[in-house]
Structure formats: structure tokens, C-alpha cells
Structure 1
Amino acid sequence: MKHLNKLFALLLLLGLSSQAQDSDNKWAISFGANAVDGARVSAAESVKNQFSQYFDAKKYWSIIPSVSTISVSRYVGDNFTFGVTGSVNKITKLVADRQEINYQSVYNVTNPGDLMYYAVDGTVKYSFMSLIKSKVIDPSAHVGGGYTWFGDASAGTINGGLGLTFWLSKQVGLTFTSTYKHSFDDTRVANVDVPTHMQHFAGLTFKFGAKDTDGDGIYDKYDACPEVAGPKEFNGCPDTDGDKIIDKDDACPDTPGLAQFQGCPDTDGDGVADKDDACPDEAGVVALGGCPDKDGDGIADKSDKCPDVKGPKENGGCPWPDRDGDKVLDKDDKCPDVAGTVANQGCPEVTEEAIKRLNDYAKTILFDTAKSSFQKQTYPVLEAITSILKEYPYSNFSIEGHTDSDGKDAANQTLSENRATAVKDYLVEHGIAASRLTSAGYGETKPIDTNKTKAGKANNRRVEVKLVK
């Protein structure tokens, strides 16, 4: 058996440079037993007789009870493999010659004694597995050549044969082959010649070479996620949450979700993924980040101070008030507590009656002679004018001073201006905004009565209050 160890070492070395098994697992190695048909095939006179007793193993086959054959092969492509096979046997049944007895061929089988058999063969095999579209049954044919030692004799052979492998799994198969080995020796003397013979093999074949880094049963070349185990239906990529979206494309790989949200859930069904939904448990509006807006005013209920009534964002989602009910909202109403008109920005319009009252009071303003200071009895009149102006806080007024024709024109002009200014200053001091008031003096240029009578002059010496529009 020392020769067997040497043979196996030689075959392994040769196998590294030979060619293999399929496009995924390019390498294959086979172990098993071989049987040598003791040259009966070369003793027969016809092809019919050569194979007529093919299965008569008990009479013609030499077998040793151990692993006696090793093969290494590599896939070349297009269903072809190239392999190297080494085998060892002990010939115990050798057909010495053939005789014709009663018109039948009789083969004389002898035991040549200690006749060891060694063979190294190169094989080109073609697999018919893809042609019959099977994943289990793998028939094949092979040709090649080799060198055989028959005891002390040795010779080269030309080989051909058939094989059949039943693949028990993707990488393990049960293999049977029969090989016809044609030798060019003409005699069949032990230790002298190598006769043409048949050799049979039965054993296990192991394919290897394909890489499956993550061990998920999908080879790396087909595995979309070669470093992470995953099912075949997703090309080897994992789907941790089972939502049919692989983890590498799943924005929420640990939580089942929807494809439209890259695998993330939408618990409230409002069209906004939970991860982006500010209100994930309440159906809402996409534009509001998934939060509800019951009153439809564009403000999420959680931020709406009046969630059941429409209102502007500027007022916290509540409608603007109109306290005085004049149809001018308080935010635009310059007089929010007093009913007015839209044209006057929510403030009451100054009526003709109010202007008449102002001027009735203004006519009774009394000044010290030739001065702009007020007589004592005039202060209640000024207070009444002030009160009326406060009723119209957003109306503007002009205070006008006039004199009679007594005295010089220039002096009268100055006096009228000073008296109008005095009235204006009083009103400002008592709460009327200066921006609402202007003053002007017209001297004796705008009389309303004759200056020839004392009564007429009294009417011309006056202060008038006018509405500025």
C-alpha cells in the first residue's frame, strides 16, 4: 500500500493544475473503489462478446476492499471538465485465453498471484445534465488516455467510457463510471504485457470552489449581500422585519413597513411614514407633518388655540375678534372698543352735528384783550372741546384763528396765529395727540360779519375747529 500513498500525493499535485466540475463549484474530487475486469474484453473475438458478460463481477472483476481510486477535476466550460484519476488494485482474476467449446466462447480465468495494478489517467468528460434538464441525474461520456502498470509490465492506453452521477445535494454526488482502456500490447502474459481491459468505479464526488461567505446557501457570485445571510427569494439579502423589503433598501429594517415609505410603517395611514410623522398615532395632513387639522385652517390642532374654528396663523389659529361689532377686525380697528365705519378704519365718523358743537363752543372762547391768553370763564369751554375730540381719536382737526379789522393788519395776523396756537397747545396738554392737530391764523382776512358794528366785530373775532379729511 506504500505505492497507493505515493499515487494519491501525485494525483493531488496534478489535480491542482487540471480542470473541473460546474460553473459555480469548479473543482471536484472523487473517492471510491475500482474494479478491473480481468482482460476478458480483449480476449473476446467480437464486440458482442466483449460486453456480453459485462456485469459478471464475481467471475471477472478484481476488487480490493478499500478506497482505491481518487480523482481530481476542474470545470472547463460548456459542460466539459478535465480530470486526473489515480487508482490501485490487485489482479486476482485474469483471462489467460479464450476457447470455443460447443460453439460457445469459454474464457479461462486464472489468479496470477501478486499482480498489482496501478493507473494514472487523464480524462475529458462531457456532462449531459443540462441537456436533460435535470438537477439530480448527471449522465456523462469521457475520453482520454493514461498509463497503466500491470505487475512488472506497463503501457499507455487510450480510454473512453460512460458515467452516471446522482447528486445527493448541491455538492455531493454518488458516481459510477466504466472505462474501456485500449492497450496496444498483443499478448496477455502477466508481468509482461498490459492487456486491453475495462475498469469500473463507484464512489462519492464532492464539488467545491464556490464561495459562500455568509453561509446562507447562496454563492457570493449570485448573492446581492454576500457578507450577510439572507433568503434565496431576496438574492441572499436579509429582511429582518419580514416586510418583503431587504434591509439594505429598508429605511426601517427592524420594523415592518410599506414599500412606498422605503420599508417604514405608517401607523395612522395618513400617507406620512411614522419616522417623519409628528403625530404618528393620529391621521393628519401631509403638509402639516402628519398632524390633524380639524378646522382646516392650515394650522395643526396641537398648535391651534382654536382647533374647532378657523383662524389665521398670526392669531394662533383663532379668528380675529371684533369687540365693537363694526365689521372691522380689532387688528385693523383703530377704535376697537367704539363702533365705527370701515371707511374710517373702524372709528366713528365725525358728524356734522359734532362739528357744529365744536364750533359753537369755539365761538365762546374768550381771550384777554389783544392777547392770546384765556379769560377764566373760557376753561370749561376748552374742556368741552377736548372731550368731543377724544370721541374721535383717529380724526384730525385744524384750529383756525380770526380777528376783526381794528388795528394793523400785521398785528391782527400775528394775534390770530397766537390765539389758534394757544388753543392747540391747551388741547395737546389735555390729552389730544399733537399729530392730530394743526393751527393757523388768518387775521382779518376771512370775516363772517360786518366790521362796522360792534356786534359784527364780535362775530369776526372767533376761533373755528375744522375736520381735516
Structure 2
Amino acid sequence: MKHLIPNSRSWLPLACLTVLPLLSQAQTADKKTSIGLNVSALQYKGNYGSDYWDFSRNRYAPGLAINHYLGKGLDANLQAFYGELKGSRSANTFFATNIVNVNLGLKFKLNNGWALKEDAFIQPYLLAAPGWTYTSREGQFNGTRIDQDKSYFDLFAAAGINFRLGETVGLFVQTGQHAPYYANFDGDQTRDDNGWDDRFLQHTVGLTFNLGQAKDEDNDGVPDRKDKCPGTPAGVAVDANGCPLDRDKDGVPDYQDQCPDEAGKAELQGCPDKDNDGVADKDDACPDTPGKKELQGCPDADNDGVIDQNDKCPGTPAGVQVDANGCPLDRDGDGVPDYQDRCPDRPGPASNRGCPEIKAEAKKRLQEATKYINFEFDRAVLLPSSYPTLDAIVQILNEYPDYTLSIAGHTDSKGSDPYNLRLSHDRAAAARVYMLSKGIPDARIEARGYGETKPIADNATDAGRALNRRVDFDLYLTGDPNTAEVKYGPEPTMPDIVIPTTPVKKAPAKKAPARKAPVRKAAPRR
């Protein structure tokens, strides 16, 4: 914490000669405001003891205040200061607390016209000013740090005397006590229940300069004692009572009235509004129909930003982007508006939700692909004969970027159910991994395994089992339900069985290439 208050008892008399004053009080109704600076001596009282009236232990604080004349005997007073309080019991028990204090209250003057004249040389007063105290404390208590920043409600009462040196200048002295509620300047945690353990005296001295205009504060040519509208801006024409002119008698003075010859509303700077939509008639493109301010007072029933009279597509759903005619955008021009178009950048029929339909040739390739996807016996390892078919499917995926590919693996009934389920899943996954390696995004291919649960032929025959050992490929619009799940239901839970996914030896595959053809034609395999 940086302490900015000098610790010198010689500062107080010097400040009396050099510092501009606190505004103590205005002298008359003609000089309503005083302003200035002051210097104060602060004296602490708390758990460390009392420095009250011990001027050898003063802590000095500069201050600022503003005073305003309210009436005979009464002023409003605002004052603020920055200071510091210090105390010490030992080398490891001490505190130094910076204080920022602001108070706003009332000053009760004895020079009120009946006790003393308002322009008396000696002008005693009492001050009651609640306020706010902010403290920033550093120090130790029995060797423990007690640093803390905190604010408090402050009660301040003071008595003082202002010496009237002239119409504008005064010298004043003042003494008062600050009692911030539950304040803890010294960091001692032993507290009373009344909340007033720590407080301080403030002895203040300064000069005052009274400001104000006599007779005609607003310079409108009407004396203040006759002016029924004080504070009129400079240059504004006024009537005999000092009030701004109002030709149309709508309560809005001409200098603020944008329509001074037509009676209007104060919130519209004195202009009329026939349709009561909050837009002045002079700015309203639809003055006879209530509308929106942002649309120059014209209505927009569907809130699409296009006024009703120009809207060729009324009733557009909320939040839908529209063109200048108020119609929903259709970027690809396929007749399906973007907000309903699943493929807004590629044209397609409304029957397919605005997406391109898959050509018959592509559908046929997908249907026949299952015949040419082959794996090593009882393994999830693709045979090279499968690559051309998978490459063709990759081309289809690139041609239809709005679609997702479903891969579903199946087996015959030989072997255990858990083993078949895992084998079917891993074979579908092997086909997926191959196509991902060709640049297809991961999210566009889903692989599932159904084992022997979804046969398409009789598992009692070799021919039937060959048909059941298959991998299905289906395209569906991204975001729609997975085709395999629609056809076969959810994928069964995968068992904890490891299916070999890499060949043990590469040599056998090279020694008998002629044997691959029977595999592609559904020769016996697992």
C-alpha cells in the first residue's frame, strides 16, 4: 500500500495560506454555491487507544467539498477527503490504514436571519452528513498480516465557524467526528457489540469562494424572484414569467419542439403521431397504420423485416431469412426454400427435401456391391479383389456429399452367436476404414454388425449360408435415421471377442491367386 499523506505537523498552517478552500457555505441566496479545497488533521480512537485532541499525533488529509444554498439557515453539503491513520503497539503489532471518505448532508446555519444576519461576519453552523468510508489496511497483529480493503457506512457530525471576509471569500474552521459503522482500522479482532469501536476526529481549516449569479441566474432577462422557470438555457426566448415560449401549447417549449406549430407528444419532441405507433408523422412512411420504428412506422406482420405492403410472401415463419420481397431464400433455386431444404446448396426435388436423388446406376452399384466384398477366411481382412468395388462406392460418396453411407455386416449361423456378431462388426469396420483412407470424412460412414441375426436365406444349405455371409451398403440423407437400423433395428451389443484383423502371413495370399475367384463367388469361408 502506498501512503500519500505527509506526516508533518507543519503542513496545516502552510495549507491555510496556499490551498484553495473547501466550499463551506454560500453567504446569500444570490451566491448559491461555494467550492474549494481544505486540509484536515485526523485523530484516531480505537483498540490501540485514543489520539483525540493530541495534535502531536495528527495525520493530515487534503479534501474537497461543494456547498449549495437551500434556504435561510440550511445548505446541502458534499465533502470528500483522502487520509491515513496509523498506530503501533510493538514491532509485530501495528497498522497503517488509508481512508477515502465521502459525506453528503445538511448544514444548519445560525446566520439564518433571526439568530444572526445572513451576511454576519461570524457564521456558526452544525453539520450532519452520513456517507461512505473506504479503507485499505496494512499491518500485523501479533505477527500475523491483517491486510484488508473494505467499505463502511459512515456517520459524521461536526460544528464549525465561517468568517465572512467579503461577499465572495470566507475562512472557516470545523471539528467533527466520523463513526464508520463496524469499521476496523487497526485490525484488532476484539470488538464490542455496538459497532463503534474505531472512529476518528477531523479538524478542518480552509478558505471558501462563493459562486453564483445575482438576480438573474439563467440570464433570460427575468429576475430570479419573478422567474417561474429558472434554469432556462441561454438564448431561449421566454415570456414575461421567464418560461420558454410554446406556440402550439403542447407542453413542449418551442426550443425543444421539432414541430412547434403542431400540438404533439413530449416523447416525440412535440410532434404528432396519428397512429400512436411511437413514430412521429413526419418520419412515418405509414402514418395511418401502426408499425415499427425500425421500418419507419410501417407494419410487418410476419416480422421478416419486409413491410407488409412490399411482402410477397406474408406469413413467413419467425427467424427465416428472406429476400427483398419477403420470400424465404432459396440459394440453389430448386423451389425448396433454404429453411426447409436439407441440401440448400445443391438442387433437388421437394419430394427428397431439396436434395439430389441418387441415380439408378448408383443404387444398382450399391445393391450389387455385396457380391464383390470378400475377406480372408474367418478373418476381418479385406481381400484385394474387394478394392475396386469399394473405390466405386467412394466415387458415389464424393458425388453425393449430402448423404451418409451405412455398412452392415452379416454372417451365417455356423459358429457361436457372440463370435459371429463380432466378426460381422469387424468386417463392416474394415470396409469403412478402407474408404476413410480414400479421404471420406469419418462422420459420413457408419459401420454395424448383426452377426447371424438377420439372414436373407436358409442357413441349412450351403447356398443359403453363402447369401447370408454379406456386407450391405446403403446411402441415406445425413441426419436421417441409419438405413441399417431402419431395416434391422439397433446393433446388438458387441461381445468381448477378438477377431484377427491382419493376416498372419502374406505369402499364402500370393501363392494361390487363382483361389480368390471362388472366394468372391461365395466359396466356403468364415
TM above 0.5, yes or no, is: no
TM-score (norm 1): 0.38
Based on CA coordinates, which of the two structures has the bigger radius of gyration?
1
**TM-score, normalising length from structure 2?**
0.35
